[in-house]
Amino acid sequence: MMGGYMDDIQFVHKYLGDVTIPENRNADNDAIVIDLLKKKKVEAVQKNDQELAKQIWCYEHILEIQNNYLSAFQKMKDGLYYDAWVLLERVEIDLHNLEPHFRQEYKSDPFLINFIEKHSKQFQSIYPYKLFFSPAYLQLEKVCSICKRVVSIWNPCGHKKGDIYDGEMCVHRITKVELLEVSIVPNPVQKYSVLFTYESESEKHVDQYDYGIVKYAIDGLRKPFDAWEVRWMRTRHPHNLFSHVSNEDDCPCGSGKKYKNCCLPNPRGVLRPHVEFLFSTPLPEGLPPIVYPEYK
């Protein structure tokens, strides 16, 4: 299998295409592929074959995207929701970096990249995280990852951020920084910094989130590449679900008005978000077809 020059590339192509065959994927096989790509890249750079070096960079990143997606799926199955969230964020960033360099032929999706993009976004959309820490900082010094020179707007090095040189992507590493402030925002640049409750007694961070909807989705899926869709709507939910809310309280619909002055007079109930899943495979036994967000 490690025959000629292009045979190796075809071997990697096939390995990446076989991502849906679980018994193919393991750390040993990955290590063989990673090693092979590394060697091929050295050869490509020596021959100054920039196209091939870039193709190899794409393969390296496709492997990483696939593996992070597979791990995220497994973490959700294991109930490790924040760990899975971090991996999904990694997938999102890598897909963003890959996009300008990797063109798929027409609508074929040989490495399931489109599938992964669509479904990792869907998983993110059903997470309960709504707010994030976001640091604002002043970049005092940046270094180009390709030529290692200090760069600025006035002093560019000639390499373009995000472009591939000798099979490596140019990034600007921030080497000196001044933190200005940390704010809490709904749409941060990166979504790792989820807000967790801090318990002063035990000095521990507590995961206070309700992952009911994520759990529902992951319970409904047998395999990472089972297709599914999610739809958010607003429908009326019967008043008896809100018996713990007094007439004088804020309306559970979130309008900010009092319950008695908002949804209570409507005999059909309270207007609430409602989520529906469409699974491409039959649901496992015991799982109801529709899930309502919990009422709190």
Q: Which stretch binds Zn ion (CB under 5 A): 91-99, 114-122, 123-131, 159-167?
A: 159-167
The residue (of 179 and 233) whose beta carbon lies closer to Zn ion is: 233
Rounded to a whole number of angstroms, the minimum distance from the CB of residue 160 to Zn ion is 9
Task: State the greatest distance between any 2 C-alpha atoms of the chain, in Å, as a whole number.
Answer: 77
Give how many residues touch Zn ion by CB under 5 A: 10
Which DSSP state fits 193?
-
Q: Which of 131, 138, 140, 147 binds Zn ion (CB under 5 A)?
A: 147
Q: Does 157 bind Zn ion (CB under 5 A)?
A: yes
The residue (of 222 and 257) whose beta carbon lies closer to Zn ion is: 257
Rounded to a whole number of angstroms, the minimum distance from the CB of residue 270 to Zn ion is 6
The residue (of 165 and 277) whose beta carbon lies closer to Zn ion is: 165
The tokens for 181 are 């402030």
Rounded to a whole number of angstroms, the minimum distance from the CB of residue 151 to Zn ion is 6
Ramachandran region, residue 112 (left: φ > 0; alpha: ψ -120 to 50; beta: rest): left
Rounded to a whole number of angstroms, the minimum distance from the CB of residue 194 to Zn ion is 29
Closest CA to 228 of 113, 107, 153, 121: 121
Rounded to a whole number of angstroms, the minimum distance from the CB of residue 249 to Zn ion is 11
Tell me which residue has tokens 């190796």. 8
The tokens for 220 are 């409904």
The residue (of 67 and 255) whose beta carbon lies closer to Zn ion is: 255
The tokens for 239 are 């008043």
- Amino acid identity, residue 251? C
The residue (of 77 and 159) whose beta carbon lies closer to Zn ion is: 159
Integer Cα distance of 280 and 170 in angstroms: 40
Integer Cα distance of 136 and 182 in angstroms: 6
Kindly report the CA angle at 212 between 208 and 215, in degrees rounded to 5? 115
Residues numbered 226-265 forming contacts with Zn ion, rule: CB under 5 A? 251, 253, 255, 262-263
Rounded to a whole number of angstroms, the minimum distance from the CB of residue 271 to Zn ion is 6
Tell me which residue has tokens 């065959």. 21
Residues numbered 58-97 forming contacts with Zn ion, rule: CB under 5 A? none
Q: Does 193 bind Zn ion (CB under 5 A)?
A: no
Integer Cα distance of 199 and 243 in angstroms: 30
220 burial level (CB within 10 Å; 0-12, 13-18, 19+): buried
Q: Does 146 bind Zn ion (CB under 5 A)?
A: yes
Closest CA to 211 of 188, 194, 199, 193: 194
The residue (of 64 and 168) whose beta carbon lies closer to Zn ion is: 168
The tokens for 124 are 């993110």
Q: Does 159 bind Zn ion (CB under 5 A)?
A: yes
Integer Cα distance of 223 and 77 in angstroms: 10
Rounded to a whole number of angstroms, the minimum distance from the CB of residue 231 to Zn ion is 22
Q: Which stretch binds Zn ion (CB under 5 A): 44-52, 70-78, 81-89, 136-144?
A: 136-144
Rounded to a whole number of angstroms, the minimum distance from the CB of residue 243 to Zn ion is 16
For residue 149, count other CB atoms closer than 10 A to its CB: 13
The residue (of 204 and 260) whose beta carbon lies closer to Zn ion is: 260
The residue (of 169 and 230) whose beta carbon lies closer to Zn ion is: 169
Q: Does 122 bind Zn ion (CB under 5 A)?
A: no
Residues making contact with Zn ion (CB under 5 A): 144, 146-147, 157, 159, 251, 253, 255, 262-263
